[in-house]
Amino acid sequence: MSSRLFKFLSIYVALLLIQACSHPIEIVGEGDVTSASGNRNCSLEEFKAANPKCTKNYAIGAYQETYYAIPRAGWKFDHWVNYCPTATPPNYDCSFNTPANAVQQFWGQTMPPLRAVFTELPLSYSVLNDSGIVFGGNYPSGNNAGCTGATIEQQDCAHGRDATHNDNADGHGGFSYTKLAAGGEELPASAETWACVRDNVTGLVWEGKTVDGGIHDKNNTYRWGGVSALGAGYGTYYPDWDVLVNGSNAEVLCGFSDWRVPTRFELAGLVNHNQTNPAIDTAFFPSTVALYFWSASPSALNSTNAWAVHFYYGDSDNYDGRSSYRHVRLVRAGE
């Protein structure tokens, strides 16, 4: 490149920057900010390194962009600061559509930063239930009624809560549940009616299903993608289950107003692999159909699928089309 051309390009770029508006991106907590165009992404690592992609983020001409907040594992997106403070799920997007003449008013200036705030999830999210298996396999074939059999010390039933807490007083095998009344009061395991179930191992509280035709009826089905669905807004998000989530929060079900659709792994934590049809502790979750239940987790395969757990055998490695009508059981985090 000739010195004259290099000088010309340098002057041209300098003139553009003089006429540009800087809009920094900031990240609080652990997550990333991506953009619809892909040209204004700011990762957590880039933000910590003060990369100009985050600290400058020049807008030249019209400023047309949509930003998405993507939480890291163990974190959730909470809110935007300075812009889009009331962004709502499922997309949590923050959009700008500013014409060139308005951008020119900020020539050489810095707009207040677009700050994405992420908060850490409760510790209970990392606590897992056991499998529920309390029988042993025998050699060369067959299963035993109890935890006996060939090399039993190497089998599932000989380890974890299924071995150390297998009393069935508050749940099958190593599961431990507490029934809750509609107002949140604890009930004995012998209670004949209850509205919710608290998992004493994970701390999660689960919605109980009914047979009364209301919003909690066990036969209600929904397409994927309403309130509390995860992801960055890619693909179609159907609002079908909003009536369940919003209705449960409005009625303050079991004393709580932060109900949501569970993640894939939270939902799989309900599976009791010791039984099928349905693969769940029916003493605490009696109105459970042995079919697919949506999780809030989208599938990475493509933008048309999401993860579901099938409660006939308890399979959790299933993804399904978002337009499919599946069941939903709500959850909320423990204290």
Reported as a single tens digit per residue, the pLDDT across 180-197 is 999 999 999 999 999 999
Residue type, 19: Q
Q: Which of 74, 99, 121 is the last residue of a domain?
A: 121
Instruction: Give the best-scoring range by mean pLDDT among 55-64, 71-80, 110-119, 183-192.
Output: 183-192
Q: Are residues 98 and 196 in the same domain?
A: no
Q: Are residues 134 and 265 in the same domain?
A: yes
The answer to whether residue 20 sits within a structural domain is yes
Q: How much is the pLDDT for 42?
A: 94
Q: Are residues 174 and 77 in the same domain?
A: no
Q: Are residues 261 and 116 in the same domain?
A: no
2/278 Cα distance (integer angstroms): 75
For residue 31, give its domain range: 13-121
Extended strands (E) in 141-221: 177-180, 186-187, 196-199, 205-207
| Cis peptide upstream of residue 278 (ω within 30 degrees of 0) | yes
The answer to whether residue 271 sits within a structural domain is yes
Beta bridge partners of 33: 42, 69
> Considering only CA atoms, which of 210, 207, 175 is closest in space to residue 189?
175
Count of domains forming the chain: 2
Average pLDDT of the residues of the chain: 87
> Considering only CA atoms, which of 185, 230, 231 is closest in space to residue 205?
185
| Cis peptide upstream of residue 140 (ω within 30 degrees of 0) | yes
Beta bridge partners of 180: 186, 196
The answer to whether residue 5 sits within a structural domain is no
Q: Kindly indicate the confidence band of residue 76, based on its pLDDT and cuts at 50, 70 and 90.
A: confident
Of 61-70, 90-99, 167-176, the one with minimum mean pLDDT is 90-99
221/242 Cα distance (integer angstroms): 12
Q: Are residues 282 and 184 in the same domain?
A: yes
**Helix (H) and strand (E) counts for the chain?**
7, 16
Q: Are residues 243 and 106 in the same domain?
A: no
Q: Are residues 65 and 175 in the same domain?
A: no
104/116 Cα distance (integer angstroms): 25
Q: Which of 121, 151, 177 is the last residue of a domain?
A: 121
196 phi/psi in degrees, rounded to 5: -145, 170
Q: State the virtual CA torsion across 259, 261, 267, 270 in degrees, nearest 10.
A: 30
Q: 191-241: per-residue pLDDT in tens? A: 999 999 999 989 899 999 999 999 999 999 999 999 999 987 788 999 999
Q: Are residues 78 and 129 in the same domain?
A: no
282/300 Cα distance (integer angstroms): 32
Structural tokens at position 81 = 């600061």
Q: Are residues 116 and 163 in the same domain?
A: no
The answer to whether residue 198 sits within a structural domain is yes
Q: Which of 121, 140, 158 is the last residue of a domain?
A: 121
The answer to whether residue 7 sits within a structural domain is no
Extended strands (E) in the chain: 21-22, 25-28, 31-35, 58-59, 63-71, 75-81, 94-98, 114-120, 177-180, 186-187, 196-199, 205-207, 292-298, 305-310, 315-321, 331-332
Q: 95-138: per-residue pLDDT in tens? A: 998 887 776 666 557 788 999 998 876 544 446 899 999 999 99
The answer to whether residue 253 sits within a structural domain is yes
Of 48-52, 100-104, 142-146, 283-287, the one with minimum mean pLDDT is 100-104
Q: Are residues 137 and 163 in the same domain?
A: yes
Q: Are residues 259 and 234 in the same domain?
A: yes
Q: Are residues 175 and 211 in the same domain?
A: yes
The answer to whether residue 155 sits within a structural domain is yes
Q: Does the model's pTM come out above 0.85? A: no
130/283 Cα distance (integer angstroms): 17
The answer to whether residue 4 sits within a structural domain is no
